[in-house]
Amino acid sequence: MTFVKVKMALQKIGPSGKLDILLKEEALKNVISSLKAEGHKVTRAERRDTVFLLEVERESNRME
């Protein structure tokens, strides 16, 4: 369910737009691999206490 929410948020921003996401560690690996599979770029991943902050750049050529 976590990736579905991320994907919906990415659809709301323009091509090449950036999105910051806070994730629990359990979801981190799956969300990153799903984002890359869809052509998005993870530009930053850092731990913030008990969660991780991901900065994602939306793939610019995606037709939604």
How many domains in the chain? 1
Residue 61 has pLDDT above 80, yes or no: no
- pLDDT at 62 (0 to 100): 52
Asked whether residue 35 is assigned to any structural domain, the reply reads yes
**Contacts for 23 with CB less than 8 Å, ≥ 6 apart:** 2, 31, 51, 52, 54
Range of the structural domain that residue 31 is part of: 2-57
Asked whether residue 52 is assigned to any structural domain, the reply reads yes
Token code pair at residue 22: 């806070």
Q: Give per-residue pLDDT as tens, 3-35.
A: 999 999 999 998 889 999 999 999 999 999 999
Cβ atoms of residues 32 and 54 within 8 Å = yes
Residue 63 has pLDDT above 80, yes or no: no
| 3-class DSSP state of 28 | helix
pTM: 0.84
Residue 44 has pLDDT above 60, yes or no: yes
Residue 23 CA: distances (Å) to CA of 15, 30, 46: 23, 11, 10
Asked whether residue 64 is assigned to any structural domain, the reply reads no
Where is average pLDDT lowest: 3-17, 31-45, 49-63? 49-63
Asked whether residue 20 is assigned to any structural domain, the reply reads yes
